[in-house]
Structure 1
Amino acid sequence: MYEVKPKSPIDYISLAISRVGLFLVAVIVGIMFYEVVMRYFFERPTLWVNEMSLWIGGFIYLLAGLYVLQQRGHIRITLLYDAVPRWVQRVFDVISTICICIFAAMVIHGGMTEAVQKYGRWETFGTAWDPPIPATMKPAILIISALIILQSIANLIADWNETPLPEGVVEDDVIEELKGSYRQTVSDRHD
């Protein structure tokens, strides 16, 4: 798989934030491995691994949504989109962007009071370990929703004058880049 190259400052921000999600997956694997070792080899299960993996997993889910939007990997009815002229595709893009922005704005509007309250009283999860999952996740949802609004508008602006390729078609420069990577891998194996 190849990544869409960044075209705007918000693209760079989205990619940088999304890279954190890549490392968080490794953190979850590491702490789950630690839990298995502690539970089954030392018979000393932890109190914190389950909640920590839920907490980190929630952040990964949020970051993944932002990454998919930046990569233009969201669901689109390509059979219809690819069959219409570019001006109709632009209309579809505008409608899609408006829908995304309205939804994200409603999430922000509807969750602002609750997020401020949970963060203000540093609400915890209510378990034995008692991490501040609600106090951190609710504001994070609002922050990511705001970034989704910015990213969807940036996508619309960046893609406005481009002619999108039909689904499954890859640009020549990407193919050449992949060929170069393959050649390098093959030559590394022979050395």
Structure 2
Amino acid sequence: MIAAIKFIDNAVKKTLTAFCAVLLLAMVAFTVYSVVMRYVFKAPPIWGDLLTVLSNIWLVFFALALTVRDKDHIALDLIYNWLPRKAAFFIQQFWTAVIFCLGIVMIVWGIEAVQTMGGKYWEMWYFTWEDGGIVFKPNYMPKKFAIAIVPISGFLVCVAAVASIVEDSLRLKAGTYRQAGDLDAFE
């Protein structure tokens, strides 16, 4: 059972890392394309800046879940090192629980924001295949797609926080617990 959980945890981490890499690449590609089109060809795409911003937003929110799981978020490592190991453990778990609560807030209000968000991005058309060719349709992308990452990220943050708490608790019980600042990069 533990092996299956570790496998899933590792698969989620690799998937999120891959998404972050793709989004970073997309962000750079959209920016370079927009700049070249704007300054070299004097014909900037109307969608370039929007896709750059959307890629950035989604990248940051996916990376948030990764940092919670890897315990790379802002921590008081210096203070943890001065405290007895069990006291540091409980403080670290308290902050991870606070981050879990932040994930719940992101889920609840994120879903509400997605449901109530109006408007559409006029720059973002979609295309379809009609009459043997590609036809652009003026049915613009809803703005709620941009903020849909908030509840998704909230869920991922909650899962990461729970996994972190369980992992740390098992390590404390086994006598192998180390604080976040003590973790190896390639563990």
Provide the residue aligned with 1:138 in structure 2: 147
TM value normalised by structure 1: 0.73
Letter in 2 for 1:45: P
- Which one has a larger percent strand, Structure 1 or Structure 2? 2
Could you tell me whether the CA contact under 8 Å between 1:82 and 1:166 is conserved in 2?
A: no
Q: Whole-Å Cα distance in 1 between the matches of residues 92 and 180 of structure 2? A: 15
- CA distance change for structure 1 residues 169 and 100 in 2, over 3 Å: closer, same or farther? closer
Cα deviation for residue 22 of structure 1 reads 0.9
1:98-139 Cα offsets, whole Å, 9 max, x none, are 211222212222232221233xx6x423x5447636311322
Cα deviation for residue 61 of structure 1 reads 0.9
Count of matched residue pairs: 164
Could you tell me whether the CA contact under 8 Å between 1:62 and 1:144 is conserved in 2?
A: yes
- CA distance change for structure 1 residues 90 and 64 in 2, over 3 Å: closer, same or farther? same
1:123-173 Cα offsets, whole Å, 9 max, x none, are 423x544763631132221011011011011011112223216846758xx
Question: What does 1:54-133 correspond to in 2, within 5 Å?
Answer: 54-118=53-117, 123-125=119-121, 127-129=122-124, 132=141
Question: What does 1:22-37 correspond to in 2, within 5 Å?
Answer: 22-37=21-36
Letter in 2 for 1:164: R
Query: % of aligned pairs identical?
Result: 17
SS of structure 2 residue aligned to 1:82: helix
Consecutive unaligned residues of structure 2, counting only runs of 5 or more, are: 126-139
Cα deviation for residue 89 of structure 1 reads 1.9
- CA distance change for structure 1 residues 169 and 69 in 2, over 3 Å: closer, same or farther? closer
